[in-house]
Amino acid sequence: MTKYCINKSIYTLLLALCFLTPGKGQIKTQSQTDNSSELNTSFTGQPKLKKTVGSDNYQNVNCGLQDKQGNIWFGSCGEGVYKYDGKLFTQFTVKDGLSNNCIWSMMEDTAGNIWFGTTDGICRYDGKKISSIPIPFSIRPVITDNSYYTQWSTKNSVWSMLQDKSGTIWFGTGDGVYYYNGLNFTRFLVNDSVINKDSLHLKVIADIVEDENGIIWFFSGVFPGNEGICRYDGKVIERFKPRENGWNRNAILSKNGKLVVATRHYGIWTYNGKSFIDYTQPKALIKPSLNYILEDKAGSLWVASDYGKFEGDTLGGLWYSSISSGNPTETTFTKIFNKEVYFILEDKDNNIWFSTRNMGLYRYDKKTLTKFSE
């Protein structure tokens, strides 16, 4: 996340005023150590990512980041969290304080805490222990239709996170969007100052991005989301739903300031300032299979898909355009991996990490592929 330096005394005063006057839909959280425990890791010092919980062949690494210390964190669906220190992996599960072993999102805040969005709420690692940070039940909406929710996708699932320029942390959950100022949670859409012109619910937000102008973008995911791309300018939240596409995977803000989106059914889109239009992508990409996009430090665009015409075939995979994400052509993409890919991460040494089914994890140094899983 981007760091911003401001006058500390003014900022502290403003925060104090906010904390003393909770508004509508806002409530102080429970003790953040109520559901915490000292770390007692499932395994420590393994050279490869190892399965210990018993997840099936369809689970995978969903998210990840490299922290300020250089450790790489991977969040999985079914096996909890793995930390890689450059040599060895350490696994953290519910035994270590996680509220669930399925991790959908991950973020490091400006203070260096690592946040995990699980199937059963928010957890935070402060460098010593993992604590549950619950969104108070009293500000959550009553869910009368549970038909869209499953054991993997619950109303408590935390699909996305963002710390904005002011330090506020946003969470996209199964039942709506919340923001956190360090002490209080607020349910976003109950704020009377927000003009919700399209009567949005913002359930299952797959990704949240802040652009150069401070505008917050919400990218709706699978049902009960399916609301498209939503834009909040500080006053009004409005929706874009071109081609009636409501399901998006992830989004990036490119080096040239363009917003680039991985849609589930229509490939890659970009925002031209007025609307979303098709963006350059690999010629061989089967558009309904798009999973993830990444722009690396050199400006190359990476594109991942989980399948081609049929699940498990070799038409999916991982491509990159060595020209740049700002000016690629459909024929400048090189395919480096021939099977389903779900998540992509670039580390500080410019290596590309990516995940596959059955907890597959690979590193590509632009020359060689190395497997880091059993």
pLDDT tens digits along 82-110: 999 999 999 999 999 999 999 999 999 99
Which has the higher per-residue pLDDT, 40 or 63? 63
Q: Indicate the residue type of 202.
A: L
- pLDDT category at 331 given cuts 50, 70, 90 is confident
Write out pLDDT tens, residues 234-284.
999 999 999 999 999 999 999 888 999 999 999 999 999 999 999 988 988
- pLDDT category at 43 given cuts 50, 70, 90 is low
Q: What share of the chain is helix, strand, coil (3-state, %, to 5)?
A: 5, 40, 50
Residue 141's pLDDT is: 87
Distance separating alpha carbons of residues 273 and 164, to the nearest angstrom: 21
Q: What is the pTM of this model?
A: 0.86
Contact 276, 220 (CB under 8 A): no
- 161 by Cβ neighbours in 10 Å (0-12 / 13-18 / 19+) ranks as buried
Helix (H) or strand (E) holding 209: strand 205-210
Residue 310's pLDDT is: 65
Distance separating alpha carbons of residues 44 and 166, to the nearest angstrom: 36
